[in-house]
Amino acid sequence: MSSGALLETLRVQEGILRELWEVTIRQREALVGGRLSALQDQMRELQHLSVRAQAAEVKRGRLARDLAEELGCDAVLTEICAHLPQEEARSLEEAGADLLGAVGLLRAEMKLLGILMEEYRTLNEMMLGEWRRLAEIPMGSGGFDTRI
C-alpha cells in the first residue's frame, strides 16, 4: 500500500473541515443578524458536512492503520512518516499540519459560536423572566397599565 491514499484522504478531510468552518462563520453572522431561515439552512448544511467529516475520519483511521501495519509501526502520522521515503513523508507531514490547522480554525469558531449562543440564551431567559414578572403585577398597584 502506498501513502497516496492516506495523503488524499488527509487533504479531503482538511477541505471538509474548512467547509465546516465557513458554515460556522455564516451561522454566527446569521445569529447576530437574526436571520433564522439562514440559520436553518446552515444547520442542514452543517449536518451534511458532519456526516462527510465522520466518513473521512473513519477512512483516514483505516488507511493509517493499514499502512502502519504494512510498515511495522504505530498508526500515528509521525511514526508512519519516519518509515517512508523523504518526499512521501514530507507530503504527508504537510497534509497533516494543514489538517491540524483546519481543526484549530473550526474549534475556535465553534467556541465563539457557543459563547454567542449562551449569551443569547441568558438574555432570552432574562427577558422572559422580566415579562412574566410584569404580567403578574396587578393592575392599579403602582405598575403600568397596558390596556388602551
Global pTM value: 0.81
Tens of pLDDT along the chain (148 residues)? 679 999 999 999 999 999 999 999 999 999 888 888 888 899 999 999 999 999 999 999 999 999 999 999 999 999 999 999 999 999 999 999 999 999 999 999 999 989 988 988 898 899 988 888 887 776 655 555 555 5
C-alpha cell at 90: 514530507
Residue at 27: amino acid letter: Q
Could you give the CA distance from residue 117 to residue 105 in angstroms, rounded to a whole number? 18
> Are 139 and 145 a contacting pair, CB within 8 Å?
yes
Nearest CA among 99, 117, 100, 105 for reference residue 27:
117
Q: With H, G, I as helix, E, B as strand and everything else as coil, classify residue 65.
A: helix
